[in-house]
Amino acid sequence: MARKRKSPYKTRQALTPYLLLSPAFLVLLFVVALPLLFSLYTSFTGYRLVRPESLWSWVGTRNYERIFADVDFWIAFGRTILFLAIALNLEFIFGLGIALLINRITWGQRTLRTIMMFPMMFSPILVGYQFKFIFNDNIGVLNNALQSLGISDAATPWLVDRHLAMFSIIFAEVWMSTSVFAILLLAGLFAMPRDPIEAAKVDGCSPLQVFRHITLPFLMPFAFIAMTIRSLDVARAYDIVDVMTGGGPAGRTELLWTLIARVGYDNSRMGQANAMAYVSIVLSIAFTYYFFTKLVAARRYMGGAA
């Protein structure tokens, strides 16, 4: 018995969703997937920027083997995790504080919100130069202020000392991006229902208890969204570090992307740099996964509490 053939109309109808979705798929394919696949391929080659023909010199896993044996890479990897953890936590704490304070203001709140956004409007390179000048040991504002106020008579090497150099960079990063947290947490505070807080106050909860058990859990999903966004940003930190210390001295402030940029551009070893970049993506995926897990948990908690 002959099979019944689909009518052209039905065939067209079945294909319509694919046809409508195809522009999106094509854009994703050409804008995201192909460049990623290309860079993944180059990480298995000896590709040097100044030797285009080296794009076809397949070296297998040699770039990855070199990375896994490279102590400097793993130190930079570990330092990036530390940098990320400290910067994100500080930004969260300061952002929360600023959001809570601004939320209490009844007059001039919009102006303050705008002013709070100013640091985000600067280019990271400008922020880097600004803090490089502030922390300069000889002609910097900070040392001059400390010396003029009689607090210190030494020229503190802010950008050279092992701990102070990382502190200075974290300070610049936190200064620039705390407002991301503040603005998202403030949005959370605006969206927060008043009823649970009123009920808690009626039940005799102290302001600290209200904050601990109602306000903070409500804000946590917002905080985790901010952390996800910022973790991707900070894991790619480059401009500020490059301007302030260039990853030095002696690699003391070397982060993954200052190292990758030097290998890829200054040394022209783009194949090896791409291999490093692919290993570093693991870091971004891990943080994103962690924060999304926490986000889902926080939402579930709020759902249960409601």
Partner 1 sequence: MRSPKLKSLTCAALLPLLLSGTSALAGEFDGYTLRVKLIGGAQYEPLYAEIPKWEEMTGAKVEVLSRKNHFELDREIKQDIAAGTLDWCVGSNHTSFAPQYGNIYIDLNGVVADDVLAEFDTLAIKNSTVNERLVQLPRHSDVSNLFYKKSLYEDQANKDAFKAKYGYDLTPPETFDQFKDQAMFFANAPTFYGTQYVGKDEAITGRFYEMLVANGGALFDENWNPTFNSEAGVKTVMWFKELYDSKAVPAGVLNYLWDDTGLGFASGTVALNLDWAGWAAFFNDPANSKVAGDVGLVRAPKGTGGKRSGWAGSHTFSITETCDNKEAAASFITFLTDHDRQMIEARKGLLPTRTQVWKDVKAEFEAAGNAFQAEVVDTYSKSMAEDAFTPPLIEPWIEVSNEIWPQLQAAILGEKTPQEALDQAADAARLIMEDAGYIQ
Give the shortest CB-270-to-partner 1 separation in angstroms.
7
Interface of this chain with partner 1, residues 231 to 270, rule: CB under 8 A: 245-246, 248-251, 262, 265-270
CB of 63 to partner 1, least distance (A): 12
Nearer to partner 1, 24 or 139 (CB): 139
> Considering only 14-22, 50-58, 279-287, 295-303, which stretch makes contact with partner 1 by CB under 8 A?
50-58
- Cβ distance 253 to 169 under 8 Å? yes
CA 4/CA 241 separation, integer angstroms: 68
Nearer to partner 1, 176 or 241 (CB): 241
- From the list 122, 133, 178, the residue with the least C-alpha distance to 159 is 133
207 binding partner 1? (CB under 8 A): no
Q: Which residues of 98-110 are buried (b: 16+ CB within 10 A; e: fewer)?
A: bbbebeeeeeeee
Residues touching partner 1: how many (CB under 8 A)? 32
Binding string, residues 267-286; x marks residues near partner 1 by CB under 8 A: xxxx----------------
Q: What angle do CA 292, 168, 72 make, to 5 degrees?
A: 70
**Part of the chain binding partner 1 (CB under 8 A), chosen from 19-27, 138-146, 184-192, 225-233:** 138-146
Rule CB under 8 A: say whether 49 interacts with partner 1. Answer: yes
Q: Which is nearer to partner 1, 188 or 271 (CB)?
A: 271
Q: Is residue 147 near partner 1 by the rule CB under 8 A?
A: yes
Alpha-carbon distance 122 to 226, whole Å? 19
DSSP string, 126-183: HHHHHHHHHT-TTT-HHHHHHHHTTS--S---TTTSHHHHHHHHHHHHHHHHHHHHHH
Count the neighbouring beta carbons within 10 Å of the beta carbon of residue 296: 12
The answer to whether 158 contacts partner 1 (rule: CB under 8 A) is: yes
Does residue 97 bind partner 1 (CB under 8 A)? no
Residues 6+ apart with CB under 8 A from 193: none
Applying CB under 8 A, the span of 87-95, 158-166, 232-240, 283-291 interacting with partner 1 comes to 158-166
Please identify, among the stretches 121-129, 136-144, 170-178, 188-196, the one whose residues bind partner 1 according to the rule CB under 8 A.
136-144
DSSP-based three-state secondary structure for 251 = coil
Q: Does 75 bind partner 1 (CB under 8 A)?
A: no
How far apart CA 210 and CA 200 sit, in angstroms, is 7
Q: How far is the CB of 135 from partner 1 (least distance, A)?
A: 8
- Smallest distance from partner 1 to CB 263, Å: 9
- Cα 268 to Cα 48: distance, rounded to the nearest angstrom: 5
How distant, in Å, are the alpha carbons of 92, 105, 150, 193, 270 from that of 109? 20, 6, 37, 20, 48
Burial of 37 (0-12, 13-18, 19+ CB in 10 A): exposed
Cα 190 to the center of its chain, rounded Å = 25
Count of residues making up the chain:
306
Q: Is 143 in the site for partner 1 (CB under 8 A)?
A: yes
Site for partner 1 in 160-199 (CB under 8 A): 160
Which is closer to partner 1, CB of 103 or CB of 147? 147
Asked if 154 touches partner 1 (CB under 8 A), the answer is yes
Q: Which stretch binds partner 1 (CB under 8 A): 28-36, 92-100, 134-142, 178-186?
A: 134-142
Which parts of this chain interact with partner 1 (CB under 8 A)? 49-52, 132, 136-139, 143, 147, 153-160, 245-246, 248-251, 262, 265-270
